[in-house]
Amino acid sequence: MIISAKNLDLTFQTNDGPVHALKDVNLEIEKGEFVSFIGPSGCGKTTFLRCIAGLEQPTGGQISVNGMTPDEARKARAYGYVFQAAGLYPWRTIGGNIKLPLEIMGFSKAEQAERVARVMELVDLSGFEKKFPWQLSGGMQQRASIARALAFDADILLMDEPFGALDEIVRDHLNEQLLALWARTEKTIGFVTHSIPEAVYLSTKIVVMSPRPGRITDVIDSPLPRERPLDIRDSKEFIEIAHRVRDGLRAGHQGDV
Amino acid sequence: MFKRSILPVLAVLGVIIALWYATCIPMNAAWTIQQLERSGETMTTTEHIVDSWSQERPRLPAPHQVAAELWDTTVMKSVTSKKSLVYHGWITLSATLLGFGIGTTLGVLLAIGIVHSRTMDMSVMPWAIVSQTIPIIAIAPMIIVVLYSVGVQGLLPKAVISAYLSFFPVVVGMVKGLRSPDAMQLDLLRTYSASNAQRLWLLRLPASVPYLFASLKIGVAASLVGAIVGELPTGAVRGLGARLLAGSYYGQTVQIWSALFAAAILAAGLVILVGLIERMTLRKMGERP
Ligand SMILES: Nc1ncnc2c1ncn2[C@@H]1O[C@H](COP(=O)(O)OP(=O)(O)OP(=O)(O)O)[C@@H](O)[C@H]1O
Ligand SMILES: [Mg+2]
């Protein structure tokens, strides 16, 4: 078990009173899984991912990452985090941006260069090392930010709607690349998305959440094989899982109305 | 492009010079009329006008007189001569640069302190603001007297006044710049468990560079004003401030105006220089051309 949450609770104290962002969240993630979090806006997907990353302090329950507290895991550099926006530093080249975590973690110059070259190849950006972020398209910038999260070889990759701002075609392409990368590196991936097809296509486990308070309403273990060509999305199994996810989302919504 | 930017500037300059010549006539006519009354002679209007542009000690010297004086006191004099504006300009410039250096360093350090410590934010910022509400003319003599009494004179007291004027824009700009990284950029560094020093060096400082340069342009001009003001109360004999003061003692309006112009040219030169360094630096930091 690489990530385990037990009765996790998180309430934000805001000026308009408390916001119950996570309520009684229980989840176990095994090593090498690809887990998607899906749910309507405000259901706590980002908050849960940030709890795993130790960026947010839960107000109740337990969570462990690699057998440690999230804070310890963060200090042990157990995960790479990809934010919704690429967030590349505009004053650094693409290579310089990918090197950033390596500089902070004190890798040798030679090792930095070697790792940058390797992850840039992994995300298909070789040759763009000396370009500045504004010289790249949005999709390429997002790939650079994934390379940055991969550069220091953390076992876990946490991604918060990394492709949310991109168009369908680029997104399909990046999804394919992400699956290939996951197969090659055997990382554990936590992936937040709003798109049902994206969640079903990528995941071995789909976590359906619902808002107010944010909680898990369904956890679906995908029967799809690990090897997934794009046209698997027309298969019967795929459509069945997509239905189940949609039903889960709808059930979560009904509580509101 | 060049033509488009230079033409309006030239047009405005032409208007200013024309107005200047026109203003000289009523300003300087009184003296001529006085002289004429004494000698009983008369003058035609044209003669009046020409005379108002060529007096030895006019109330308002004409542009060509100032230009001639500037030429005479820069190009025609050796730079070591006490009559050379280059010599006086250098004296003022050296105090300006020293003060600017001190002010900028102090400003950056204060800004770093303010951004990292709530206590400093609460305690230093109000004083920095208060410091700028006191007229420099009131403080300058005190600074000079106090420093003189502990045996410090010459370049340093002027530089201190110049630093006093230039640190403030740097503090304000740098505080804003150091705080400019957004929550996501800060969170990114947290996911790497970066230290405070790494956060400052790798994120906050680079992000504040554009803000710093905006402040430096204001700061360098303020530094020059500070150095000139610092030369006034000492009765100094060297520096552009001293030239201004001596000019007004002896009614040498042409000298005052040429010193003023020298100061303005120096200020413009410094601001342009900072602008050039800004362009080069930002280009290196991947700014979109
Ligand atoms: N720092 C914070 N302070 C106060 N409330 C917060 C904070 N962060 C999140 N919230 C609240 O917690 C709830 C869950 O937010 P969260 O960002 O996790 O939702 P989400 O599922 O990621 O939504 P989206 O799909 O729009 O990104 C929301 O009601 C939000 O307003
Ligand atoms: Mg979110």
Model pLDDT for residues B137-182, shown as the tens digit of each residue: 888 888 888 888 888 877 888 899 999 999 999 999 999 999 999 9
Best residue of A72, A100, A130 to probe chain B, by most B CBs closer than 10 Å: A100
> pTM score, two decimals?
0.85
Angle A49-A52-A58 from CA coordinates, rounded to 5°: 95
Higher pLDDT, B100 or A8: B100
Residue of A45, A50, A83, A249 to mutate, ligand 1, most atoms within 8 A of C-beta? A45
* Pairwise CB contact (< 8 Å): A93 & B206: no
Mode of pairing for the β-strands spanning A156-160 and A188-193:
parallel
Would you call B202 an interface residue with chain A, using a CB distance cutoff of 8 Å? Answer: yes
Q: Are B48 and B97 members of one domain? A: no
* Pairwise CB contact (< 8 Å): B286 & A80: no
- Reply yes or no on whether the pLDDT at B129 is more than 90: no
Domain membership flag for residue A82: no
Domain membership flag for residue A125: yes
- Reply yes or no on whether the pLDDT at B234 is more than 80: no
Q: Are B164 and B22 members of one domain? A: no
- How many structural domains does chain B have? 2
Residue A152's CB: how many other CB atoms inside 10 A? Answer: 17
Residues linked to residue A223 through DSSP beta bridges, in sequence order? none
Q: Are B209 and B136 members of one domain? A: yes
Cα distance between residue B154 and residue B166, in whole Å: 19
pLDDT mean across residues, chain B: 88
Domain membership flag for residue B66: no
* Residue B204: half-sphere exposure toward Cβ, Cα within 13 Å: 23
- Reply yes or no on whether the pLDDT at B1 is more than 60: no
Q: Are B212 and B142 members of one domain? A: yes
Cα distance between residue B207 and residue A5, in whole Å: 37
Non-local (6+) Cβ contacts of B138 within 8 A are none
High-pLDDT (> 90) share of chain B, %: 45
pLDDT, residue A160, reads 92
Domain membership flag for residue A119: yes
Domain ranges, residue A115: 88-153
Best residue of A52, A79, A91 to probe chain B, by most B CBs closer than 10 Å: A91
Q: Are B48 and B92 members of one domain? A: no
Q: How far is CA B198 from CA A251, B180, B204, in A?
A: 47, 16, 9
- Reply yes or no on whether the pLDDT at B54 is more than 60: yes
In chain B, the residue whose alpha carbon lies closest to the alpha carbon of A102 is B192
Average pLDDT of the segment spanning B216-222: 94
The least confident of A4-13, A209-218, A244-253, B112-121 is A244-253
Q: Are B20 and B142 members of one domain? A: no
pLDDT, residue B218, reads 93
Domain membership flag for residue A142: yes
**What secondary structure letter does DSSP report for B251?**
T
Residue A165's CB: how many other CB atoms inside 10 A? Answer: 15
Q: Are B131 and B269 members of one domain? A: yes
Domain membership flag for residue A53: no
Q: Are B29 and B145 members of one domain? A: no
pLDDT band of B235, cuts 50, 70, 90: low
User: Residues B21, B58: contact at Cβ < 8 Å?
Assistant: no
- CATH assignment of the domain containing B168: 1.10.3720.10
pLDDT, residue A66, reads 85
- Reply yes or no on whether the pLDDT at B125 is more than 90: no
Tokens of A150: 């991969």
- Reply yes or no on whether the pLDDT at A121 is more than 90: no
Non-local (6+) Cβ contacts of B113 within 8 A are B120, B124
Best residue of A89, A130, A146 to probe chain B, by most B CBs closer than 10 Å: A89
- How many structural domains does chain A have? 1
The least confident of A54-63, A162-171, B155-164 is A162-171
pLDDT mean across residues, chain A: 88
Domain membership flag for residue A97: yes
Residues of chain B contacting residue A77, judged by C-beta atoms under 8 Å apart: 192-193
Domain ranges, residue B28: 2-60
Q: Are B18 and B130 members of one domain? A: no
- Reply yes or no on whether the pLDDT at A2 is more than 80: yes
High-pLDDT (> 70) share of chain A, %: 98
Mode of pairing for the β-strands spanning A34-38 and A17-29:
unpaired
Q: How far apart are the CA of A211 and the centre of ligand 1, in A?
A: 10
pLDDT, residue B19, reads 93
pLDDT, residue A155, reads 87
Residues of chain B contacting residue A75, judged by C-beta atoms under 8 Å apart: 193
In chain A, the residue whose alpha carbon lies closest to the alpha carbon of B206 is A91
pLDDT band of B268, cuts 50, 70, 90: very high
- Reply yes or no on whether the pLDDT at B31 is more than 50: yes
How distant is the Cα of B283 from the closest Cα of chain A, in angstroms?
Answer: 9
Kindly report the protein residue whose alpha carbon is nearest to atom 12 of ligand 1: A21
Domain membership flag for residue A169: no
The helix/strand/coil state of B21 is helix
Q: Are B9 and B131 members of one domain? A: no
User: Residues B250, B65: contact at Cβ < 8 Å?
Assistant: no
Average pLDDT of the segment spanning B43-60: 84
Domain membership flag for residue A65: no
Average pLDDT of the segment spanning B234-247: 82
Mode of pairing for the β-strands spanning A205-210 and A188-193:
unpaired
- Reply yes or no on whether the pLDDT at B61 is more than 50: yes
Domain membership flag for residue B124: yes
Domain membership flag for residue B70: no
The answer, yes or no, to whether any atom of ligand 1 lies below 6 A from the CB of A148, is: no
- Reply yes or no on whether the pLDDT at A257 is more than 50: no
Average pLDDT of the segment spanning A9-14: 88
Taking only the tens place, the pLDDT of each residue in A34-56 is: 999 998 888 889 999 999 998 99
Residue of A46, A59, A81, A83 to mutate, ligand 1, most atoms within 8 A of C-beta? A46
Q: How far is CA A100 from CA A4, A91, A112, A203, B172, in A?
A: 29, 12, 9, 29, 28
